[in-house]
Amino acid sequence: MVDAAPDSAPRAGIGLRAPHLDEVAERAPSVGFLEIHAENYLADGPALRRVERLRAAHAMSVHGVGLSLGSADGIDAHHLDRVAALIAQLQPRFVSEHLAWSVVGGAYLNDLLPLPYTEESLAVVARNIDRVQTALKCPVMIENPSSYVAFAHTSMTEPAFLAALVARTGCRLLCDVNNIFVSASNVGFDPVAYLDALPAAAIGEIHLAGHARNDADGETILIDDHGSRVSDAVWSLYRHAIARFGARPTLVEWDTDVPALEVLLDEAARADREAAAMVGQAA
């Protein structure tokens, strides 16, 4: 896993999506790392074999979207075994999952759903993280979610909840700056104060992405759709994150209306420039 406080800005990575598999293999672009979604590669097949070949030229990150760490039902043993086999096969540099739940009564829901931040939830999530880290034989980075509603019954802030998970389980954190910006706008909190409340030493990776704006009935909702370039406001928040945490491996996500590979590389190059400039100011 990444060092707690690297001395210089590491190169940004990109999400490796199916339309770009062949081009990335051909071009071997100069990026910090490639990220895949675990659930897309749990079965053996041509796509997994292509990803495996890419390991020779690129550091890899495996980002889970289906372990349902917030599920009171616990972790699906079969699903966890398949993810563990993928991690053992690819030996990625980074492994991460979401602070969310998506399974209930054995049914998988097509969404990453929020949970209240209470002592009861903390015990459930910590127990699930312990089980996952034991099975995967490595620390897992936990990603902060994007929020559209807030629970009335919650006893701690999201940064405090994440910090408590780090203390209880030894996990690390994946700081999704776009998610913080989206949640702050939708739920109503200060995104800079949120960043300042996170435990800096636990931040192992940062995510950047675009979001959509939905104006309806006189109300604006931001949607974390990963379908556009990173907004200027999110770049500004990213600069604060680097000032607060130091340089961290950063990933540019793009999952809907996936553009040409060159667009992703351009966004990653900007992340490199922004981080390097902040590191230079701190020197």
Taking only the tens place, the pLDDT of each residue in 183-235 is 999 999 999 999 999 999 999 999 999 999 999 787 899 999 999 999 999 99
**CATH of segment(s) 13-282:** 3.20.20.150
Distances (CA, A) of 95 to 28, 143, 281: 22, 11, 30
pLDDT of residue 87: 98
pTM as predicted: 0.94
In this predicted structure, which of 71-75, 106-110, 143-147 has the lowest mean pLDDT?
Answer: 106-110
* 178 pLDDT more than 80: yes
Taking only the tens place, the pLDDT of each residue in 13-54 is 999 999 999 999 999 999 999 999 999 999 999 999 999 999
Cα 247 from chain centroid?
16
Cα angle value 274/279/281 (rounded, 5°): 95
Q: How many residues does the chain have?
A: 283
pLDDT of residue 283: 64
Q: Residues 88, 89, 94, 99: is their CA dihedral positive or negative?
A: negative
Sheet strands (E) in the chain: 13-15, 34-37, 60-63, 94-98, 101-104, 107-113, 141-143, 172-176, 203-208, 212-216, 219-223, 250-252
* 1 pLDDT more than 60: no
* 5 pLDDT more than 70: no
pLDDT of residue 149: 86
How far is the C-alpha of 249 from the C-alpha of 32, rounded, in Å?
A: 8
* 3 pLDDT more than 50: no
The rounded mean pLDDT for the chain is 93
Backbone dihedral region of 170: left (phi > 0), alpha (psi from -120 to 50 degrees) or beta? Answer: left
- The type of residue at 278 is M
Q: Where are the domains of the chain?
A: 13-282
* 4 pLDDT more than 50: no
